[in-house]
Amino acid sequence: MSNSTKHPQSAPAATLTHLRADGTALMVDVSSKDETTREATAQAVVATTAEVLSLLGAGELPKGDALAVARVAGIMAAKKTPELIPLCHPLPISKVTVDFALAATSITVTALVKTRSVTGVEMEALTAASVAALSLYDMIKAVDKHAVLTDIKVLAKSGGKSGDWVL
């Protein structure tokens, strides 16, 4: 994502595009927008215990290969985003990757989604990262019922009229 700009944390509030003048919801009309290659990266973090990370690394969790299950869940979730988020447009997703970074007491899930379309894939990336993290929770809850999902956010996006940015 070259030519990226830092996401403006204190940018002026933009008009909400998913609301009509009377305040009711609408799906944004994107029919006049140009088709471009668009990409978004999002993350979710699963905070857990060192014991879980040890079992995960050794492939010894009671439910099996948590990372493989979570990866497939995240990919599937990206493709199902318009079924889960009411105002999202169905998109021809061309690429989804879900990766994991294991630390001492956490797992960072990073999802990248790419398309060539008239609207972005931030929601698809957020959904992929979130559902992968939820799947990890499901796979580790037998060992750690107190795991916490946190730091779900878009890290970067490229393509489209609003330009590129990186958090």
Place of tokens 């790419």: 114
* Measured CA angle at 60 (ends 107, 64), to 5 deg: 80
Catalytic residue among 22, 29, 138, 164: 138
Cβ(30)–Cβ(82) under 8 Å? no
Q: Is 151 a catalytic residue?
A: no
Per DSSP, the three-state class of 99 is strand
Burial of 165 from C-beta contacts in 10 A (0-12 / 13-18 / 19+): middle
What positions carry a catalytic annotation?
Answer: 138
